[in-house]
Amino acid sequence: MHENDTWLSRRTYHHSEFADIEALVRRKEERGLKVSLCFPTLNEEATIAKEIVLIKGELQMRHKLVDEIVVIDSGSTDRTREVATEFGARVYLATDILPEIAPYRGKGENLWKALYVLEGDIIVYVDADIKNIHPRFVYGLLGPLLKEDGVRFVKAFYDRPISLDQKTVKPSGGGRVTELVTRPLFSSFYPELAQFIQPLSGEYAGFRECFDSIPFPIGYGVETSMLMDIYERSGMEAMAQVDLDKRVHRNQTTVALGRMSFGIIQTFIAKLRSSGRATMAGELHKTMIQFELEDGEYRPRESRIDIVERPPIIQIEAYRKKFPARGDCP
Amino acid sequence: MVQPLKDMKELLIGNVVLLGEVPSYAGTWQSDDEMGSIDYSVRARFFADRLTELGVDECTTDPIGNPIGIIKGRDPDKPPILVCAELDSLYNPAGDIHYAVSGESIVGPGLMDNAIGAAAVLSLPDVLRRLGVSFESTVILAGIANTMRDSRNLVLVDAFVEYLGVRPAAAIVVKGGELGRVNYFTEAVIRADIVCDRNPEVHGIQPNMIVVANEIIDRLLALEIPQKPETTVNVGIIRGGYKYGAPATTARIGLEVRSTSNDTLAKLLAKIREILELVRYERRVNVDFDITVELGAESLGWSHPLTQAAISVLSALDIEPGVYPSVSELFYFLKRGIPAVTIGVANGSDYHQDVASANLASLYTGLAQLVGLMMMVDGEAIDARE
C-alpha cells in the first residue's frame, strides 16, 4: 500500500514516540510557544471532569506542557460547566464569546469561537466524550508539531489500524461514516486526503494560523471541511497524523450517523463548488429524509440541516485587535 | 494538611484513575534481562514505572515481581518504614475498565478494593515532595500483586514479607476503605473450598452433588459455635451443576471460619474435617477440602505506640476510629513481630460492583492521615513490641 517515502510513512506517528514529555516541554520553551487546550462541550458532565483532571495533573502540574485548559460549552443543561470550573478549567458559554455576532449552536461554532478566547500559539482540540482519556491524547498530538518543523496540523487516529513497518495491512479503522462517506468522497476528489486514517476524529492540533485563516462550518462537516481547507492552503507536508491507540466513546445510532453523513456530504459539495473542482446545475436540497416504522407503517422523518459556515476568524475585527500579530495576515 | 492535599487533587485523582484502569489480573511480561517471560501483574508493572516517574530514589521488584520504591531517609541507620497496599482488585469486570470522575466522587470497578489504596501509596513520593515532608527513616513503598490469584489470596503476601530482606520499624498497610479503620489485631481465619464430585471408583448411579453439598452445609450449620471466644462460620460461595434437567456432577462450597482464638479455630477445623469424612464415606463421593487462606490470631496491642499513633492521627482529623480485627495481610507482619496496622484512605460504597465509588473529600483526609502517621512513626520509637 505504501513505500518508504510516502506521506503516510513520513507523517504518520505513534504517541509513544513522544512519551518523553519533558523533552516536549523543553522544545516548546526553546521555540517560545504557548499551548492551549480546548474542550468543546454539550452535556458532557459524565466525562469532562476526568478529562480535565488527568490533563491538568499530568500536563500542567507535573509537566508544564499545556498553558491553558479551556472549555467552550454550547449551553449544557447538566452540570458540565460547573464541574469543569470546579476542576480548574476556564469555562465559557459559547454565546458569551463575541456577543455582538449572532450566535449559532454547534461544535464548529465552539471551535471557531475558541480561537478568540484561547491565548496559545498551538491549539489542541479534544472532544469531551472520551471515556479512556489519557495524557497521550494531548502530548501525542503535540509531539509532531513541536518536534517536526514543517508540521503545522496533526490529526488523531486510533486502534492501530495499519502496520507501517510490515507488509501486512490490517483493515483501516475508520468509523462507519468515514468508510462509507468521507473516504469515498476524498478518494474521488482529494485522493491525498484519503490517507488520513480517521479524517473525522475529533482530536486535532495545529498552529493558530492553520485555524484562524479557514472557515468553520458550525455543525457537521467541520472536520471534513478543515482538512480540505488546510490541505488547499498548506499542502500535505504541513499535515500529519498520530496513532493514539484506543479511544472509547459513546456509540451513535445509524440514524444519527445518517444525519451526520448528510451534513458532511452537503459541506463537501459546497466546498467542491467554491474551490471550482465541481459545478452543479442547481442547489442541493437541505432536508434529510429518514423513515420510522410506527404501528406497521413507515413514516418519513425530515431533518433540515442547513450548512452555515463561519468565515475565517481573522476576518473578524475584534479578533485582529486581540491578536495584532495575526492581524496583517491575509 | 488536608487543604494542601486538596490542592493536589488533580495529581491524586490522576493516579487513582491511571492505576485503576490498568487491569489487575496477571499478564505476561518479558523481563528486561531477557531471561524469559514471567507471569506478571500488569498493574504491578504500571506501579513500578509510575513510582520511578514520580521520583523515588530507587525502584525495584522483589523476586516475585512486587514493585518496591525507596525514598531514602536522612539517617541510614534507622530501620525503614514500610507503606504497602495490595495492587489487585477483587472485582474484575469483563472488558475494559473506565473510571468516571464527578464533582464529588470517583466511580469505577475495583476502585475501593484496592485501586484507591494502592494509588494513595503510589502518590506518596510526589505528595511528600510537594508538602515538603522528609523523614529520618527510609521509606519503603510497595505494591503487593497477584494476591487474588487462583484464590490463593494471601500466600503471596506472606512471600512478600518473607522476601523483604529488612525488618521495618513499622508497616502501614493501606486499604481503600473505610477511612477511620485501625486494625491492629487479627482474627484466626480459615478460608477453604469444599469440592464434591463423583468418585470414579464407584459404579452405578451417583448422587446429585448439590444434594451432597446441601448435606454438608446442614451439618456445618449444626456445629456448636461458641460465643466466646467469638467465632463464626460463614458459607459464602456455592457453585454447582450445569443443566436444569441433570443431576449436578460437581458442587463447590466456599467456607470461611473465623475466631479470636487460634485454639478454638483448630478444634472447629477438626470437626469440619470429620463431617467431610463422614459424608465422603456415607455418600461414596469425593469430597476435597482445599484451604486457600490460613491466618492466625495476633495482636499488636492497644497500647502499642503504633496503635496509639494511628488513633491519635485520626482524632486530630476529627475522625472516630473504627477498631476491629483484620482478616487480611496484617497477620503476616504481626506473626513476624513487625509492628503493623491497617488503615483506610477513603469513604466509599459498592466496593465490589461496577459502580464502586469513593468520596473525593475523604481521600484528601485519608492521605493526610497516612502522611501524619508516617511522620509520627518517624519521630517515635515505634519498634518496641509489647
Rounded to two decimals, the pTM is 0.80
Written as nine digits, the cell of B152 is 490463593
Task: Find chain A residues with C-beta within 8 A of B10's C-beta.
Answer: 52-54, 56-57, 60-61, 87-88
Q: Do A57 and B100 touch (CB under 8 A)?
A: no
- Whole-number percent of chain B with pLDDT over 70: 91
Say yes or no: B21 contacts chain A, CB-CB below 8 A.
yes
Task: Find chain A residues with C-beta within 8 A of B98's C-beta.
Answer: 131-132, 248
| C-alpha separations of A23 from A31, A147, A322, B97, B337 in Å | 12, 9, 31, 30, 47
pLDDT score of A167 more than 60: no
Of B18, B102, B126, the CB nearest to A49: B102
* CA–CA dist B155, B148 (Å, integer): 9
Cell 468418585 belongs to which residue? B199
Q: Which has more confidence, A215 or B31?
A: A215
Say yes or no: B10 contacts chain A, CB-CB below 8 A.
yes
CATH value of B2-186+298-379 in 3.30.980.10, 3.20.20.70, 3.40.50.300, 3.40.630.10? 3.40.630.10
* CA–CA dist B300, B330 (Å, integer): 10
Measured between its terminal Cα atoms, the distance across chain B in Å is 31
Q: CATH no. for residue A36?
A: 3.90.550.10
pLDDT digit string (tens) for A144-157?
999 998 999 999 99
CA distance A97 to chain B (A): 26
Written as nine digits, the cell of A58 is 499530568
Q: Tell me, what's the pLDDT at A3?
A: 53
**Taking a C-beta distance cutoff of 8 angstroms, is the pair A228, A193 a contact?**
yes
pLDDT digit string (tens) for B205-232?
889 999 999 999 999 999 999 999 999 9
Task: Find chain A residues with C-beta within 8 A of B100's C-beta.
Answer: 46-47, 50, 131
- The residues near B135 (Cβ < 8 Å, ≥ 6 apart) are B71, B73, B74, B81, B374, B375, B378
- For residue A168, the enclosing domain spans 7-251
∠ CA(B133), CA(B378), CA(B383), 5° rounding?
165
Q: What are phi and psi of A165, to 5 degrees?
A: -105, 10
User: For chains A and B, what is the number of CB pairs under 8 angstroms?
Assistant: 52
pLDDT score of B98 more than 80: yes
Written as nine digits, the cell of B298 is 495476633
Does residue B184 sit in helix, strand or coil? coil
**Taking a C-beta distance cutoff of 8 angstroms, is the pair A24, A18 a contact?**
yes
* CA–CA dist B362, A171 (Å, integer): 47
Handedness of CA B181, B186, B189, B191 (dihedral sign): positive
| C-alpha separations of A122 from A23, A265, B131 in Å | 17, 29, 33
Identify the closest residue of chain B to A248 by CA–CA distance: B98
Q: For testing the chain A interface, which of B7, B13, B129, B363 should be mutated: the one with the most A CBs within 10 Å?
A: B13
Q: Does a structural domain hold residue A23?
A: yes
Q: Does a structural domain hold residue A272?
A: no
Identify the closest residue of chain B to A88 by CA–CA distance: B10
The predicted model gives A47-70 an average pLDDT of 94
* CA–CA dist B55, B71 (Å, integer): 9
Q: Tell me, what's the pLDDT at A251?
A: 67
Q: Do B10 and A46 touch (CB under 8 A)?
A: no
Q: Do A87 and B10 touch (CB under 8 A)?
A: yes
**Taking a C-beta distance cutoff of 8 angstroms, is the pair A174, A165 a contact?**
no
CATH number for the domain formed by residue range(s) B188-295: 3.30.70.360
- The residues near B262 (Cβ < 8 Å, ≥ 6 apart) are B188, B296, B297
Q: Is the ipTM of this complex over 0.90?
A: no
**How much is the CA Rg of chain B, to the nearest whole Å?**
23
Q: Do A61 and B11 touch (CB under 8 A)?
A: yes
B232 closest CA partner among B266, B265, B263: B265
Strand partners, B171: B82, B340
The predicted model gives A59-81 an average pLDDT of 94
CA distance A55 to chain B (A): 8
Mean pLDDT of chain A: 88
Written as nine digits, the cell of B191 is 478460608
Task: Find chain A residues with C-beta within 8 A of B14's C-beta.
Answer: 53-54, 57-58
Mean pLDDT of chain B: 88
Q: Which is it for strands A153-157 and A239-243: parallel, antiparallel or unpaired?
A: parallel
Q: Does a structural domain hold residue A307?
A: no
Q: Tell me, what's the pLDDT at A254?
A: 84
The number of folded domains in chain A is 1
* CA–CA dist B184, B330 (Å, integer): 8
Task: Spell out the domain ranges in chain B.
Answer: 2-186+298-379, 188-295
Q: Does a structural domain hold residue A304?
A: no
Q: Does a structural domain hold residue A199?
A: yes
* CA–CA dist B21, B37 (Å, integer): 23
* CA–CA dist B68, B161 (Å, integer): 12
Lowest mean pLDDT, pick from A41-45, A47-51, A164-168: A164-168
Say yes or no: A46 contacts chain B, CB-CB below 8 A.
yes
pLDDT digit string (tens) for A188-240?
999 999 999 999 988 999 999 999 999 999 888 899 999 999 999 999 999 99
Residue B302 pLDDT level (bands cut at 50, 70, 90): very high
Say yes or no: A58 contacts chain B, CB-CB below 8 A.
yes
Q: Do A83 and B102 touch (CB under 8 A)?
A: yes
* CA–CA dist B291, B311 (Å, integer): 34
Written as nine digits, the cell of A248 is 472509547
Q: Do B10 and A131 touch (CB under 8 A)?
A: no
B372 closest CA partner among B172, B186, B177, B79: B172
Q: Does a structural domain hold residue A71?
A: yes
- The residues near B246 (Cβ < 8 Å, ≥ 6 apart) are none
Based on DSSP, count helices (H) and strands (E) in chain A, helices before strands.
Answer: 13, 12
Q: Which is it for strands B67-71 and B58-61: parallel, antiparallel or unpaired?
A: antiparallel
Of A57, A82, A132, the CB nearest to B13: A57
Strand partners, A76: none
| Residue type at position B220 | L
pLDDT digit string (tens) for B191-210?
999 999 999 998 888 899 99
Q: Which has more confidence, A97 or A296?
A: A97
Q: Does a structural domain hold residue A290?
A: no
* CA–CA dist A4, A308 (Å, integer): 41
